[in-house]
Amino acid sequence: MTIRYPNGRKYQPSTQPTGQRKVNHSFGNRGKTLEDELNETNDYYLSQGIAVIHKKPVPIQVVNVNYPARSAAVITEAYFRTPSTTDYNGVWEGKHLDFEAKETKSLTSFPLQNIHDHQVEHMENVHNQGGIAFLLVYFSSLDRYFVVPYEYFKEKWERKIAGGRKSITLGEMEEISIEIPAGFHPRLDYLKAVRILLDRIQKEATERQEIE
C-alpha cells in the first residue's frame, strides 16, 4: 500500500525496526513493540483511574482500493490528511500531557532526524499553553527508556538548528532526562518520571527567582 503526505510526497516508514529487540526483560515481553508497551501502560493508568491517555489516530484519506475477492478489500494508495503531531496525549491530574515516543538502535546517541519540525512546533505550542510536552526515547540495543522534557529537548534541537550536533548523546540523555525502569504493572511508569521532572523544573524556577 502506498501512503502519501498532504503535499504528495511518498511516506517512507522508519527504518528502525520496532518489533525486533536485542534484549528482553522477560519471556512475556518477547516481541512486543514500544507502542505495545505504552498501550498496556495507558490501559493500566485508565483502569486504575490514574490518567486518561491514548494514542492519537492518524487521519488517512483512501484514494485507491482493490477488491481481489468479494469479501476482501485491499487499500493500495492513501494520503495522510494532515501532518502528524505527536503520538500520545491525554489528561493526568488536571494537566494536559502530549508526547512523542521514539526508539533508536544506536548505542551512543539519539538522532534528531527522527523528530520533525511540525512535531517540535506542536510541542512548543502545548508547552506555551501550560501543557506538559515530552519525548519518551527507547534505546533498543541497550534496553533503556528515557523521559525527556520538552524544555531540555528544545535546547538540543536549537543547537542542531544553529549548525551544531544533530543528535543527543547518551551521556546528555542521562543528564537531561529521567530513566524509566521497566516493570510489570504498569509496564513503563512514565508518569512517575514526569512527576520527578516537574518537581525538578519547579525547583529550578524557584532558585532562579531567588537569585533575581
Report pLDDT for 206. Answer: 84
Across the chain, mean pLDDT equals: 81
Contact 111, 34 (CB under 8 A): no
Backbone angles phi, psi at 204, to 5 degrees: -65, -40
Work out the burial of residue 134: count CB atoms within 10 Å of its CB; fewer than 13 is exposed, 13-18 middle, 19 or more buried: buried
Q: Is the peptide bond before 186 cis (omega within 30 degrees of 0)?
A: yes
Dist CA 150 CA 137 (whole Å): 12
- Where residue 93 falls (left for φ over 0; alpha for ψ -120 to 50; beta otherwise) is left
Does 77 or 111 have the greater pLDDT score? 111
Mean pLDDT within 1-26: 42
User: Quick one: what percent of the chain has pLDDT higher than 90?
Assistant: 57
| Segment 46-96, tens digit of pLDDT | 999 999 999 976 655 455 667 777 667 666 654 544 456 788 999 999 999
Domain boundaries, given as residue ranges, for the chain = 44-56+84-211
From 95, 58, 53, select the one nearest 80 (Cα to Cα). Answer: 58
Q: Helix 190-211 vs helix 34-47: angle between axes, to the nearest 10 degrees?
A: 80
Asked if pLDDT for residue 6 goes beyond 50, the answer is no
44-56+84-211 maps to which CATH number? Answer: 3.40.1350.10
Dist CA 156 CA 171 (whole Å): 13
Report pLDDT for 65. Answer: 65
The model's pTM: 0.73
Work out the burial of residue 86: count CB atoms within 10 Å of its CB; fewer than 13 is exposed, 13-18 middle, 19 or more buried: buried
| Segment 149-171, tens digit of pLDDT | 999 999 999 999 999 999 999 99
Asked if pLDDT for residue 116 goes beyond 80, the answer is yes
Mean pLDDT within 121-150: 95
